[in-house]
Structure 1
Amino acid sequence: MWFNWLTALTKGVLLMAIQIVTDSTVQLTAEELATLPITVVPLIVRIGNQEYFNDGQDITNTEILTHLINDTELPKTSQPSIGQFLEVFDRLGQNGDSVLCLSLTHFLSGTVNAARQAADMSATDVTVIDSLSIDRGLAFQVITAAKLAKNGAPLEAIIAAVDLHRSHTKIYVFLNTLENLIKGGRLSKAAGGIASLLNIKVMGEVVDGELQVAAKGRGKKFLNKQIDAVIDDIKAVSPAKVGLTHVDNLTTVSEISQRIKAALPETLVTIHEAGPVISTYTGIGALAIEYYTD
């Protein structure tokens, strides 16, 4: 079972640690990063001829908003290189530790493939998992994996917990336009349909790792109706964790947070600014509601 590692400890067996690696589309708080064995490998953002690491320092959330508003050309993004992952895997495994790498969904990036190729090249024992998620949904899996790893859980127990989180997480994305997703190749014109032409408001849902258009309609009234329905679902299932992510839309997500906390005071709700990669494809005003149910 999941706690068999305690038997090994009582027998004096020295167990090497498991290090958790993820990518920079994850939404983690400063406290989570400081207290848990998590290493974040940054994706890359290109603006014109300039290349930046999506690490919160090379280019900030505020700086990317300026480019999204003022530039005629959409910024470009790319997965971390195999070399980036290889350096991290080798460094974390120098003392014999193993690595569990949780990547954003392959439907939105080739990051997981770069991690797998690096794992094959590394001398470290590395397991790579496609989270089929992103943003705070990815964080739910990463945090649970890191907490178990910190407490000495074996790999099979951590993977089982990650699988459970994946199957119990819902992610809804609310967009003012699909233009950026289609331009960036993250959604086909056929999937976007007429919404991309008429600037119709859109609610997307991540289903088995793929972003799908769940509903579309005209005006803010439509979008607010969809948000109300998701909040009602959160109230009904009483999730343990809720993440709210926004692109220059703090007023709306703060109001959503207050409504959830009023109905479910014990529910953990965190608010996050979208990073440069996610902001590039969702556009100004976008928000996401992500929640995990036990």
Structure 2
Amino acid sequence: MSIQIVTDSTVQLTPDELATLPITVVPLVVRLGKQEFLNDGIQITNTQFLSHLVNDDELPKTSQPSIGQFLEVFDQLGQNGDEVLCLNLTHFLSGTVNAARQAADMSDTKVTVVDSLSIDRGLAFQVITAAKLAKNGAPLETILNAIDLHRSHTEIYVFLNTLENLIRGGRISKAAGGIANLLNIKVMAEVKDGELRVAAKGRGKRFIRKEVDELVDRIQTVAPAKVGLTHVDNLTQASEVANRIKSALPDTLVTIHEAGPVISTYTSVGALAIEFYTD
């Protein structure tokens, strides 16, 4: 009997990680007007979605996977006696983890569901470690302890040109946003204890450059083992940041990712997330 790892499509994994590790991804759902797509990179690509995000009058909507989606995956993975460890994005941003828990209660497979209190590449740090340990036959308790360590040693910062989509989508309150949706105010947000919070705000692109530069300087000082960069149509800045980190820290794993539809919906065009894990 082995442990199979399940997660959701807000995770950022490389093709090689998906191909070589025991990871199954359950997609969230994206709605464009009356059309509905699985956020699986197949039914709608990131490029196609970005065109809708920029040009459509109505903000796309997202929803968690159904209980039935999770139940089908859990039952299938447990057919030969394997058990499942399911890691999902923070409950502050989605009900996905609750859907997984309900499905776990209904499944004949032994399923442990964990709220990662994270998202994107931060979620991936936990998922990859869990999958590597599971592949090597580690017991569930060892995997859960490793996940806890990753959760407490991961930092996630998101640089946004606007909070409008987060507020419209109900992922952050107008009070938390303050004046950030007015007068060309830019925002640095942080995922802290699973919740997205405004950490700093200022006017114009100079503010964003300053905050990114200060964070990169700190990363070069703490020398994290892993750094993930996720962008929404902002590859130029993501590449510049990656090159600076790689130049200073050649032993640090740095990956660049294009945000999928769920993340893009709320962060909007030009967003950049910098996520890192320190041992």
Q: Could you give the per-residue CA deviations for residues 126-154 of structure 1, whole angstroms, max 9, x where no partner exists?
A: 00000000000000000000000000000
Instruction: Within 5 Å, give how 1:141-180 maps onto structure 2.
Output: 141-180=126-165
Q: 2:32 aligns with which of 10, 32, 47?
A: 47
| Amino acid in structure 2 at the alignment position of 1:47 | L
User: In the alignment, what sits opposite 2:180?
Assistant: 195
Report the CA distance between 1:122 and its aligned residue.
0.2
Q: Which residue is equivalent to 2:268?
A: 283
The Cα shift of 1:229 comes to 1.1
Deviates more, 1:262-271 or 1:195-204: 195-204
Q: Which amino acid aligns with 1:166?
A: R
Equivalent-residue separation in structure 1 for 2:214 and 2:141 (angstroms): 37
Alpha-carbon distance between aligned partners in 2 of 1:85 and 1:230, rounded to the nearest angstrom: 37
- Residue 122 of structure 2 is matched in structure 1 by 137
Aligned to 1:223: 208
Matched, 1:185 2:170: yes
Q: Find the structure with the greater CA-based Rg.
A: 1
- In structure 2, stretches of 5+ residues that fail to align are none
1:242 corresponds in structure 2 to 227
Whether the 8 Å CA contact 2:9–2:28 is kept in 1: the answer is yes
**Whole-Å separation in 2 of the counterparts to 1:139 and 1:230:** 21
Which deviates more, 166-175 or 230-239?
230-239
Alpha-carbon distance in 2 for matches of 1:122, 1:165: 28
Q: Does 1:256 align with 2:241?
A: yes
- 2:52 maps to 67
Deviating beyond 3 angstroms after TM superposition, the runs of 4 or more aligned structure 1 residues are: none
103, 109, 113: which one pairs with 2:98?
Answer: 113
1:160 shift after superposition: 0.2
Q: Deviations over 1:243-288 (max 9, x none)?
A: 0000000000000001001111111100000000000000000010
* AA partner of residue 121 (structure 1): M
* Alpha carbons 2:184, 2:204 under 8 Å: kept: no
Q: C-alpha separation between the residues in 1 aligned to 2:102 and 2:90?
A: 16
How far did residue 198 of structure 1 move?
2.4
User: What is the match of residue 70 of structure 2?
Assistant: 85
Aligned AA for 1:204?
A: A
**Which range moves more in the overlay, 78-87 or 191-200?**
191-200
1:4 corresponding residue in structure 2: none
> How far 1:68 moved relative to its partner?
1.0
Distance in 1 of aligned mates of 2:50 and 2:35: 16
Contact 2:12 2:124 (8 Å CA) reproduced: yes
Q: 1:207-238: CA deviations, max 9, x gaps?
A: 00000000000011111110011101111110
Match of 2:107 in 1: 122
CA distance in 1, matches of 2:245, 2:175: 35
Quote how far apart the aligned CAs of 1:64 are. Answer: 1.1
In the alignment, structure 1 residue 34 sits paired with structure 2 residue 16: no
Q: Distance in 2 between matches of 1:230 and 1:89?
A: 40
State the AA in 1 paired with 2:74: F
Q: May I ask how many residue pairs the two structures share in their alignment?
A: 279
Distance (Å, rounded) in 2 between the aligned partners of 1:280 and 1:186: 11
Contact residue 246 and residue 254 of structure 2 kept, 8 A: yes
> Any stretches of 5+ residues in structure 1 without a counterpart?
1-15
Q: What secondary structure does 2:182 align onto? A: helix
CA RMSD of aligned residues (A): 0.5
Name the counterpart of 1:9: none
Alignment-derived partner of residue 232 in structure 1? 217
